Structure 1
Amino acid sequence: MSFLKLIRYQNLLMLAFMQLLFRYGFLKLQNIPLALNDWQYALLVLSTILIAGAGYVINNILDQETDSENKPQNLIVGTKIRETTAYNIYIGLNCTGVAIGFYLANLIGKPNFAGLFIIIAATLYMYATSLKQIAVIGNFVIALLLSVSVLIVGVFDLYPMIIIENQQIMGSLFSVLLDYAVFAFMINFIREIVKDMEDINGDYNQGMKTLPIIFGVKRTTIVVFILSIIPIIALFFYIKNYLLTYSLFPTILYSLVFILAPLLLFTVKITTAKTQKEFHYLSTLLKGILFFGIFSILILTLNIIYNV
């Protein structure tokens, strides 16, 4: 159980679910050829979660002092798992994940794509060692990596199968993945800042320079409030210019209830949040918004098929 907590298995399960959903709840329901078969796609998901798990491990190793103050109940390295063992786990997960990535890249005839897995692993290491201590940059990097985990589905499953005859439809499907990647980026970027607000005491004592430490909690709250308006506007735009145009009313209802309403609740709550408990609640709320936002791809796909 300590190992599962070390790699933050809940987050990895959500990542795997997200990638499986885009494959089997979206791409497989289209009348298009895909580059990977089922077991090969399973390897892509496995590679992703192994590298992400390695990122969590190195983060836990280097955050021992901070976590002992912010979240002592979640401290794993140094208490339940030795630091040396944790480093070995980190190396093993990364090497396995990157090796699978090399195999898949060569399998689809795009060996250069293997570099993507190396870049992701290296970026996660840089984040844990230095980037997370830089205001906004660390938040941006983590949010960007989540969006990349969405786009990698299209890179490995769609891109290799594009020919002149299907270029338009493949481009449209990749555009949908890009929309969801942007949504995931926006929500996770905001969530990372909220988590910094939650952990401000421990981060300050460790000499970190997060946005709440530099600007103060009150000013950062204003920044987060402004940022939270952006996905709300984007969602209104998407509903008006796409969902309404094609009369996709079940998807509209789902979006209003499970995405827009919680987002509006977040914008209201963030203006009065002051305590660690309140920021933790808001972080969890954003995680739920992200989950239901990603799940909407299945609702949208079934809605389109039903309408057709």
Structure 2
Amino acid sequence: MLAFMQLVFFYGFLALQNISLGLKDWQFILLVLSTVLIAAAGYVINNIFDQETDNFNKPKNVIVGKSISETNAYYSYVALNVAGVAIGFYLSNVIGKPGFASLFILIAATLYFYASSLKQMLLIGNIIVALLLSFSVLIIGVFNLYPIVNIENQSVLANLFSILIDYSVFAFMINFIREIVKDIEDISGDYNQGMNTLPIFIGKQKTTKIVFVLSFIPLFSILYYIKTYLFPLVYVCLYMLVFVVAPLLFFMVKIWTAESQKQFHNLSTLLKWILFFGILSILIISWNRKLL
């Protein structure tokens, strides 16, 4: 999903603009690879710290301690991070902004602290994960638009970057809600490990109602965005209503009455599909604009 999202924004949006981007195609592929490697390292360290919780919540899907030893998992974690940060350091120098390498180090460090401690804090872990996903959209603009800014193209590039910001906000909202739904799904294992997630703090039923209320934020935001910016694009409006708004409304109906772990798992998957189709809409926008 992470790689797909970045590829869609690069080839389905930025590469179609009449500008010279900061990265060549093969360099952008390296940026995607770097992002995926660091994200993979984050998953590895998270699985290392979550062994006991995962043994309770999803024993059939446990990898660390079964398919791979904890020692080898740590070796994999270090190797993935080193490779990801090294590529980031190279790309930062390619665009003449060596200081940007610190972004990759910061993301890797944040994922470690998330797995080791931040995820145990009320809502902090949910916010961190959602922010990191949304930043994976912004980093495309940081490496492709920022290095080529000048007085002549400043307004054009600012407009393009603002669109990336809009999508990153959308990704944050959907993923933040999804993280809370996943916490509801995993409430039993998290409780046994002494974690302080929102469902543990206020209870599962109250949390589902909060998720229901929170869902109005992306719903109204999307409807406002359609009315304000996309209304002349008929096919885009139809696409957004069918593949993003309708599933989100379905999610809101189902979350109100959801009770079982399977129901929350299915709702978490639904949010992932909403995010997928929401990101894909940038392709529909680019295509619809060509028809005008």
Match for 2:132 among 124, 145, 167? 145
1:268 maps onto 2:250 in alignment? no
Equivalent residue pairs, number: 292
Partner of 2:278 in structure 1? 293
Tell me the TM-score normalised to structure 2 length. Answer: 0.99
Partner of 1:194 in structure 2? 181
Q: For 1:1-308, what aligned pairs fall within 5 Å after superposition?
A: 14-244=1-231, 247-307=232-292
The separation in 1 between residues aligned to 2:121 and 2:129, in whole angstroms, is 12
Q: 1:222: Cα distance to partner?
A: 1.3
Q: 1:207: Cα distance to partner?
A: 0.5
Aligned-partner SS, 1:109:
coil
The separation in 2 between residues aligned to 1:163 and 1:302, in whole angstroms, is 28
**Cα deviations by residue, 1:227-248 (Å, 9 ceiling, x for unpaired):** 100000001100111111xx10
- Residue 148 of structure 1 aligns with an amino acid whose one-letter code is F
Q: 1:33: Cα distance to partner?
A: 1.1
**Cα deviations by residue, 1:28-49 (Å, 9 ceiling, x for unpaired):** 1111110100110011000000
Tell me the TM-score normalised to structure 1 length. Answer: 0.94
The separation in 2 between residues aligned to 1:225 and 1:32, in whole angstroms, is 42
Partner of 1:7 in structure 2? none
Partner of 1:6 in structure 2? none
- Residue 270 of structure 1 aligns with an amino acid whose one-letter code is I
- Residue 160 of structure 1 aligns with an amino acid whose one-letter code is P
The separation in 2 between residues aligned to 1:135 and 1:74, in whole angstroms, is 25
Partner of 1:8 in structure 2? none
Aligned-partner SS, 1:271:
helix
CA RMSD in angstroms, aligned pairs only: 0.5
Aligned-partner SS, 2:215:
helix
**Cα deviations by residue, 1:68-112 (Å, 9 ceiling, x for unpaired):** 000001100111101000000000000110011011001101111
Identity, % of aligned positions: 67
**Cα deviations by residue, 1:202-259 (Å, 9 ceiling, x for unpaired):** 0000000000000100110111011100000001100111111xx1000000000000
The separation in 1 between residues aligned to 2:281 and 2:146, in whole angstroms, is 23
Identify unmatched segments of 5+ residues in structure 2. none
Q: 1:135: Cα distance to partner?
A: 1.3
The separation in 2 between residues aligned to 1:95 and 1:130, in whole angstroms, is 22
Aligned-partner SS, 2:272:
helix
Question: Deviating runs (4+, > 3 A) in structure 1?
Answer: none
Partner of 1:5 in structure 2? none
**Cα deviations by residue, 1:143-173 (Å, 9 ceiling, x for unpaired):** 0000000000000011101111011110110
The separation in 1 between residues aligned to 2:77 and 2:192, in whole angstroms, is 26
The separation in 2 between residues aligned to 1:174 and 1:33, in whole angstroms, is 15
- Residue 211 of structure 1 aligns with an amino acid whose one-letter code is L
